[in-house]
């Protein structure tokens, strides 16, 4: 039987300032797709703990892993200069 994934609320702002801001977007997208953390980690080719670190905004997580997870979940990141 498949695990039921509880969708979290979408962050209020689209502005990313801190690692946990992006982590919340990634977690929201994953949960809105109904994908468990284990499934998402396998799809992205990373381990569960790495995905947990990304979603929790751990600043020591490799940026390549963060960008790969965002891409595979369908999150488009755009750079805008002030």
The answer to whether the CB of 69 falls within 8 A of the CB of 40 is: yes
Whether residue 46 is contained in a domain is answered as yes
DSSP H or E run through 64 = helix 63-73
Is 45 part of a structural domain of the chain?
yes
In a domain, 40, yes or no: yes
The average pLDDT across 61-81 equals 94
CATH no. for residue 65? 1.10.260.40
Residue 80, pLDDT above cutoff 60: yes
- Indicate if the pLDDT at residue 1 is higher than 70: no
pLDDT digits (tens, 9 = 90+) for 11-70: 998 899 999 999 999 999 999 999 999 999 999 999 999 999 999 999 999 999 999 999
7 within domain boundaries? no
State the total domains in the chain: 1
């Amino acid at each position: 039987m498949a695990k039921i994934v509880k969708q979290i609320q979408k962050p209020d702002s689209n502005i990313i300032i801190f690692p946990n801001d992006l982590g919340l977007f990634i977690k929201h997208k994953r949960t809105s797709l109904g994908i468990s953390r284990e499934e998402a980690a396998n799809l992205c080719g990373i381990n569960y703990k790495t995905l947990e670190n990304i979603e929790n905004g751990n600043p020591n997580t490799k940026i390549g892993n963060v960008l790969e997870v965002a891409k595979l979940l369908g999150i488009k990141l755009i750079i805008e200069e002030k």
